[in-house]
């Protein structure tokens, strides 16, 4: 009885605290990619919960059945070399659990990396999402507009975000629409997203990237295609153009609000893909051929000098 009231107080406190909690965004999906991720998370939680429950049940059973008070004072435990059945169970079950979770993880990874089922025949909307300290720049090459720290997308249409960074490695994450994907310098990574319901969703950089990391966030607004087209036309009519000098200022470390421009920085500073990718960033194929020819000429002259010395 002396433990009754403390236990009830603890139970009431837990219920009170949990009743004020909002649902986890990652478990409140608004698109097929996020739904797959949420299903895997819940499956893992239930699997681990069953394991914990079974282990504690066996532990309690063993403690009660083989407690010292049930044995006589002169009890001597038998000497046991081993039990094949028991050893097979305690080794085999964990192996089966790992195999099961591995298959689920691999299968779900391929699902979230590809275009969702039912949207394969649609042309995706390509948006370049580049990060800098501590901002997100969204470039729409199809519409020739650019936004900072917010992005508008149409519902029921696949969106292909092409990610890269103008600073340290960051992680693009919209919990209600998709999982995380790294954005890095000198290369482009891709993530596919489909929003199946209109709404506003929060996104952020999920990878620590310095003192401004906590506020490295952005907003995603999904809307019907007609509203999206109206927004594009409004931006073209009202937004100012983005110049190279202005974009250089935006790359300086710091925080900004939401900005909109009537063109993209891709024209004067292309993304690190194709001939601009990797260590040849900004070097055209012609320049690479010139450098190769020049190096070959040097090798030929060097070999001739060596022959002359001989």
pLDDT (tens digit per residue) in 86-122 = 899 889 999 999 999 999 999 999 999 999 888 999 9
- Is residue 293 domain-resident? no
- Is residue 263 domain-resident? yes
pLDDT in tens, 57-80: 999 998 888 887 777 777 787 787
Please answer whether residues 159 and 117 qualify as being in contact, where contact means their C-beta atoms are separated by less than 8 angstroms: no
Residues 214, 156, single domain; the answer is: yes
For residues 154-164, average pLDDT: 96
Report the length, in residues, of the chain: 310
CB neighbour list of residue 275: distance below 8 Å, 6 or more residues apart: 283, 284, 285
**Confidence (pLDDT) at 158:** 95
For residues 215-242, average pLDDT: 95
In 3D space, the residue among 176, 190, 171 whose CA is nearest the CA of residue 114 turns out to be 190
**Confidence (pLDDT) at 251:** 94
Residue 247 CA to residue 265 CA, distance in Å, equals 7
- Is residue 234 domain-resident? yes
**Confidence (pLDDT) at 25:** 85
Residue 291 has pLDDT above 80, yes or no: no
Domain that holds residue 249: 125-274
**Confidence (pLDDT) at 286:** 43
Residues 109, 146, single domain; the answer is: no
Residues 149, 54, single domain; the answer is: no
Element (H, E) at 260: strand 259-261
SS3 48: helix
**Confidence (pLDDT) at 275:** 79
Of residues 211 and 310, more confidently modeled: 211
- Is residue 141 domain-resident? yes
Residues 190, 57, single domain; the answer is: no
Q: Please report which confidence band the pLDDT of residue 48 belongs to, taking 50, 70 and 90 as the band edges.
A: very high
| Number of domains the chain is built from | 2
**Confidence (pLDDT) at 277:** 78
pLDDT in tens, 10-33: 666 665 554 445 567 888 899 999
* Half-sphere CA count of 15, side-chain side, radius 13 A: 6
What CATH number is given to the structural domain containing 138?
Answer: 2.60.40.420
Residues 99, 162, single domain; the answer is: no
- Torsion, Cα of 110, 112, 118, 122 (10° steps): -100
- Is residue 265 domain-resident? yes
Q: Please report which confidence band the pLDDT of residue 7 belongs to, taking 50, 70 and 90 as the band edges.
A: low
Residues 264, 209, single domain; the answer is: yes
Strand 259-261 versus strand 145-148 pairing type:
antiparallel
Residue 189 has pLDDT above 80, yes or no: yes
Residues 93, 133, single domain; the answer is: no
Residues 91, 217, single domain; the answer is: no
Residues 158, 263, single domain; the answer is: yes
Highest mean pLDDT among 11-15, 138-142, 212-216: 138-142
Q: What angle do CA 120, 121, 127 make, to 5 degrees?
A: 70
Q: Please report which confidence band the pLDDT of residue 283 belongs to, taking 50, 70 and 90 as the band edges.
A: very low
- Helix segments in 155-284, DSSP class H: 225-238, 244-250
In 3D space, the residue among 66, 54, 40, 46 whose CA is nearest the CA of residue 93 turns out to be 54
Question: What value does the CA radius of gyration of the chain take, rounded to a whole number of Å?
Answer: 29
Residues 230, 255, single domain; the answer is: yes
For residues 282-298, average pLDDT: 44
Residue 236 CA to residue 165 CA, distance in Å, equals 26
Q: What is the largest CA-CA distance in the chain?
A: 105
Residues 145, 252, single domain; the answer is: yes
- Is residue 74 domain-resident? no
Residues 155, 44, single domain; the answer is: no
In 3D space, the residue among 161, 151, 139, 261 whose CA is nearest the CA of residue 217 turns out to be 151
Please answer whether residues 182 and 207 qualify as being in contact, where contact means their C-beta atoms are separated by less than 8 angstroms: yes
Please answer whether residues 202 and 245 qualify as being in contact, where contact means their C-beta atoms are separated by less than 8 angstroms: no
Residue 54 CA to residue 246 CA, distance in Å, equals 61
Tokens standing for residue 33: 């990619």
Q: Please report which confidence band the pLDDT of residue 307 belongs to, taking 50, 70 and 90 as the band edges.
A: very low
User: Which of 57, 90, 113 marks a domain boundary?
Assistant: 113
For residues 221-229, average pLDDT: 96
- Is residue 38 domain-resident? yes
Residue 58 CA to residue 16 CA, distance in Å, equals 32
**Confidence (pLDDT) at 237:** 93
- Is residue 9 domain-resident? no
């Amino acid at each position: 009885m002396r433990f009754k009231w403390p236990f009830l107080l603890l139970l009431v406190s837990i219920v009170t605290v949990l009743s004020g909690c909002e649902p986890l965004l990652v478990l409140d999906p608004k698109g097929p990619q996020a739904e797959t991720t949420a299903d895997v998370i819940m499956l893992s939680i239930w699997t681990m919960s069953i394991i914990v429950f079974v282990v504690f049940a066996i532990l309690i059973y063993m403690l009660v059945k083989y407690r010292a008070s049930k044995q006589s004072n002169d009890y001597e435990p038998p000497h046991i070399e081993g039990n094949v059945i028991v050893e097979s169970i305690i080794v085999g079950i964990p192996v089966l659990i790992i195999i099961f979770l591995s298959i689920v993880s691999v299968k779900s990874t391929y699902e979230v990396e590809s275009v969702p089922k039912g949207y394969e025949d649609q042309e995706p909307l390509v948006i370049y999402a580049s990060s800098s300290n501590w901002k997100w720049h969204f470039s729409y090459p199809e519409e020739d507009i650019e936004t900072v720290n917010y992005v508008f997308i149409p519902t029921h249409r696949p969106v292909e975000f092409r990610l890269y960074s103008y600073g340290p490695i960051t992680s693009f994450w919209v919990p209600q629409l998709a999982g995380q994907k790294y954005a890095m310098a000198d290369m482009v990574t891709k993530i596919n997203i489909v929003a199946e319901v209109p709404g506003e969703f929060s996104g952020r950089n999920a990878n620590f990237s310095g003192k401004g990391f906590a506020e490295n966030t952005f907003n995603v607004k999904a809307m019907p295609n007609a509203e999206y087209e109206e927004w594009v036309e409004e931006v073209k009519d009202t937004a100012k153009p983005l110049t190279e000098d202005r974009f250089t200022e935006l790359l300086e470390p710091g925080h900004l609000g939401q900005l909109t421009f009537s063109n993209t920085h891709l024209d004067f500073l292309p993304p690190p893909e194709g001939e601009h990718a990797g260590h040849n960033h900004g070097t055209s194929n012609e320049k690479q051929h010139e450098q190769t020819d020049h190096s070959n000429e040097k090798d030929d002259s060097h070999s001739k000098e060596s022959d002359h010395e001989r």
